[in-house]
Structure 1
Amino acid sequence: MIPDPAHLAAIHARAITPAWTEAALRDLLDQPGVWAEVESDGFILMRQAGDEAEVLTLAVLPEARRRGQGLALMQGALAACRTRGVSDVFLEVAADNAAAQALYRAVGMIESGRRRGYYARSDGSPVDALILTLNLGEALP
């Protein structure tokens, strides 16, 4: 089933700043190798190229956080990655986003690099991005 970009954009708008538009999400979903795992209160958007996959975004509505939905979405995406023949998964996460880092580390992701000033906060201040990776061959089942 193809996810509804309007539904994803509505979740993203409430969960992440700056939010991605419906058109941007539609364009991403139209690209080869891009798929989404969707729940009622959140989604994860993935992009696969060869045996690598990138977490493009993970969004959970604020009122649904801390209930395991982010972890379930990650676990579902990682299971899909294994089925699709992915060996390595990576993402960028803001260095000041401790909650997201804890979620990603809970599934075994480790820091493998840093992009200085990758994100800009609403006040214009730069924030580094941590590059986290997971080798699915080495990860726990």
Structure 2
Amino acid sequence: MRLETVTFENDAWSRAMMLGDLSQGYCHYLVAFRPGDDDAAELSGYAGLMSARGASDADIQTIAVAPDARRQGLGRLMMEALIAEAVSRGARRLFLEVRADNPGAQTLYDDLGFAPIGVRRGYYQPDDVDAVVMRLDLPAGGAA
């Protein structure tokens, strides 16, 4: 939750929301720790996917990278792993929302093949920031 609140400040998920997502069998989460962190006290990042096996649509639920781990490829690595997981579960389309005022994340998603398909006005509250909805069409047959 510490990384959640540091990363997302005003629109961070609550503990109950996070636990609810983590408890779902159709959600898949990754966590990343700093190399050599034997006690795993601090996360470098986490990312979540909602994808029921056999469903054609999947959704990137969240992704967060600690400030001191940014710009080192961790976000891309976690996104690539979630894309591969969505493909392995049989998804054909992968969706996400990204803050309209986050060009760095939008560039990463664009580089990964996501395309903007719409805008959700005032999606991020209380900041009243729009969300850009993006979609990635996935390969058929479980080949990422």
Structure 1-normalised TM-score?
Answer: 0.83
Offset of residue 131 of structure 1: 0.5
* Inter-partner Cα distance in structure 1 for 2:15 and 2:120: 27
Aligned residue-pair number: 129
Q: After superposition, give the CA deviation of every residue in 1:14-57 in whole Å (9 maximum; x if it has no partner).
A: 22223223332111111231110211110111111412111111
Tell me which moved more, 44-53 or 76-85. 44-53
For structure 2, list consecutive stretches of 5 or more residues without a partner in the other structure: 34-43
What is the Cα deviation at residue 116 of structure 1? 1.4
User: Which letter does structure 2 place at the counterpart of 1:13?
Assistant: T
Give distance in 2, aligned partners of 1:10 and 1:45.
16
CA distance in 2, matches of 1:38, 1:52: 23
Give the gaps of 5 or more residues in structure 1.
1-8
> Match of 2:62, as an amino acid?
T
Identity %: 35
Q: Kindly state the Cα deviation for residue 81 of structure 1 after the two structures are TM-superposed.
A: 1.0
35, 43, 46: which one aligns with 1:43: 46
Aligned residue in 1 for 2:119: 114
Equivalent residue, structure 2, for 1:81:
86
Superposed, 1:1-141 pairs within 5 Å as: 9-17=1-9, 18-40=11-33, 41-49=44-52, 50-121=55-126, 124=127, 126-137=128-139
Query: Per the alignment, do residues 127 and 19 of structure 1 end up closer, same or farther by CA in structure 2, a change over 3 Å counting?
Result: closer
User: Tell me, what secondary structure is at the counterpart of 1:93?
Assistant: strand
Which aligned segments of 4 or more residues in structure 1 are displaced greater than 3 angstroms? none
Q: Name which of structure 1's ranges 59-68 and 14-23 shifts more when overlaid on structure 2.
A: 14-23
In 1, Cα distance between the equivalents of 2:117 and 2:2? 32
SS of alignment partner, residue 66 of structure 1: coil
Larger RCO of the pair (alpha carbons < 8 Å, separation 6+): 2
Three-state SS of the structure 1 residue aligned to 2:101 is: coil
